[in-house]
């Protein structure tokens, strides 16, 4: 089992490095295109920072087929919103508090663009609906809900696009490759695209190893693959957007910070459930239902804060209790 754990840790590290490289490039591209903070953080950034999860899901369903692979794929779909709503929010809350204490921020409360009400409303309504097809057990219903989720995502993009110029990003870190090849400054966009392509390749390798090791580890300790995937895989794949949100929250860029996390969650109540409904039997167990319940409760709390445009640091930390409860149920009580 120790060999499996080492492979898992190594694959998580690889996914982490690759995802950071990917995020660095896409944020710079967003800056060069002069897009607004709400649009970049809630639309553009999540589309790419969620790439590790997309690759994990596809690898689990196709390269590592069978019930175990399907369980890991579905577990990843339901695990990411739980992870973001709990640990990621909590870490951002702590970063905000630290930033205030060392005078990097003027307040312990995040002042947020009300545009972010839109993604929170989508999450609160749509994520519970992902449970309906698993209750009905009719394949046609899976397809119907899959197309509904896809259509809703298109509508969501349209709503956010209308406010794409709000809080235009005024700075971004240079792509890492440009630091290695400084003479290529006249082809900056080309270098950024090359960096994205290299990151995608590393993400695939790391994701394939991660899925295999999670399945092996679940069998070794007699824990549900779906339950373990809900905890382990998001812990690695949620790192890029979490680190981005931490940095933005620490520096006082509040809309970017919260938007990076909530935009990710929208994908997990639209695009990813649609993918699962089309490609799997969508057989959900208690772990997926707990994820939906906890995520919906946290989203409702956040929606109340966002409506007032003030999100206190301790409000972000409330979700940690839900994740701790879930982890105890799965790992100690073997639910």
pLDDT tens-digit map of 97-107? 998 999 888 89
Mean per-residue pLDDT, 68-76 = 77
What does the pLDDT read at residue 331? 67
Q: Name, of 6-20, 82-96, 220-234, 253-267, the range with top average pLDDT.
A: 82-96
pLDDT of 211 over the 60 cut: yes
pTM: 0.76
Reduced to 3 states, what is the DSSP secondary structure of residue 21? helix
What does the pLDDT read at residue 169? 59
Residue 155: pLDDT band by 50, 70, 90 thresholds? very high
CA atoms within 13 A of residue 15's CA, in its CB half-sphere = 31
> Residues near 12 by Cβ (< 8 Å), separated by ≥ 6?
206, 210, 235, 236
Mean per-residue pLDDT, 197-206 = 80
> Residues near 246 by Cβ (< 8 Å), separated by ≥ 6?
91, 92, 95, 257
Q: What ranges in 186-285 are assigned the alpha helix state H? A: 188-221, 225-237, 239-251, 254-267, 271-279
Q: Which of 159, 194, 163 is nearest to 180 (CA)?
A: 194
* Full set of structural domains in the chain with CATH: 2-331 (1.20.1420.30)
pLDDT of 67 over the 70 cut: no
Q: What is the pLDDT of residues 38-61, one digit of tens each?
A: 666 667 767 766 766 777 777 777
Residue with tokens 């295999």: 212
CA–CA separation, 257 and 250 (whole Å): 9
Average model confidence (pLDDT) across the chain: 80
Q: Name, of 29-33, 197-201, 224-228, the range with top average pLDDT.
A: 197-201
Bridge partners, residue 168, by sequence: 36
Q: Which of 233, 299, 195, 199 is nearest to 79 (CA)?
A: 233
Residue 12: pLDDT band by 50, 70, 90 thresholds? confident
> Long-range contacts made by residues 242-248, C-beta under 8 angstroms, separation at least 24?
242/84, 242/87, 242/88, 242/91, 242/92, 243/20, 243/23, 244/23, 244/27, 244/45, 244/49, 245/88, 245/91, 245/92, 246/91, 246/92, 246/95, 247/95, 248/41
CB atoms within 10 A of CB 97: 19
Find the farthest-apart pair of alpha carbons in the chain and give their distance in angstroms, rounded. 60
> Residues near 289 by Cβ (< 8 Å), separated by ≥ 6?
131
Q: Cβ(83)–Cβ(238) under 8 Å? A: yes
What does the pLDDT read at residue 41? 64
pLDDT of 290 over the 80 cut: yes
What does the pLDDT read at residue 335? 62
Mean per-residue pLDDT, 217-236 = 67
What does the pLDDT read at residue 132? 94
- Using left for φ > 0, alpha for ψ between -120 and 50, and beta otherwise, residue 311 falls in beta
Mean per-residue pLDDT, 146-161 = 90
What does the pLDDT read at residue 202? 83
Which of 8-22, 151-165, 228-242, 300-314 shows the lowest mean pLDDT across its residues? Answer: 228-242
């Amino acid at each position: 089992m120790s060999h499996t754990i080492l492979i898992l840790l190594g694959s998580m590290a690889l996914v982490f490095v690759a995802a950071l490289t990917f995020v660095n490039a896409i944020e710079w591209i967003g800056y060069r295109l002069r897009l607004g903070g709400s649009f970049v953080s809630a639309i553009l950034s999540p589309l790419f920072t969620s790439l590790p999860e997309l690759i994990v899901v596809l690898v689990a369903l196709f390269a590592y087929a069978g019930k175990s692979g399907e369980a890991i794929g579905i577990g990843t779909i339901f695990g990411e919103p739980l992870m973001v709503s709990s640990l990621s929010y909590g870490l951002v809350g702590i970063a905000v508090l630290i930033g205030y204490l060392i005078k990097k921020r003027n307040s312990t409360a995040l002042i947020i663009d009300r545009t972010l009400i839109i993604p929170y409303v989508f999450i609160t309504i749509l994520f519970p609906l992902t449970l309906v097809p698993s209750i009905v057990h009719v394949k046609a219903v899976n397809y119907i809900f899959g197309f509904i989720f896809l259509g809703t995502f298109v509508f969501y993009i349209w709503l956010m696009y209308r406010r794409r110029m709000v809080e235009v990003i005024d700075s971004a870190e240079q792509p890492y490759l440009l630091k290695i090849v400084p003479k290529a400054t006249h082809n900056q966009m080309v270098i950024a695209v090359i960096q994205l392509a290299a990151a995608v390749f590393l993400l695939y390798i790391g994701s394939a190893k991660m899925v295999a090791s999670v399945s092996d580890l679940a069998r070794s300790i007699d824990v549900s693959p779906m339950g373990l995937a809900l905890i382990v895989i998001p812990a690695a794949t949620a790192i890029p957007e979490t680190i981005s949100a931490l940095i933005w929250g620490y520096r006082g860029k509040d809309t970017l910070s919260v938007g990076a996390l909530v935009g990710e969650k929208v994908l997990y109540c639209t695009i990813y459930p649609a993918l699962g409904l089309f490609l799997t039997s969508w057989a959900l167990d208690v772990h997926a239902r707990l994820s939906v319940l906890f995520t919906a409760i946290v989203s409702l709390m956040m929606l109340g804060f966002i409506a007032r445009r003030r999100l206190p640091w301790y409000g972000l930390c409330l979700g940690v209790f839900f994740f701790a409860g879930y982890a105890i149920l799965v790992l100690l009580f073997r639910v």
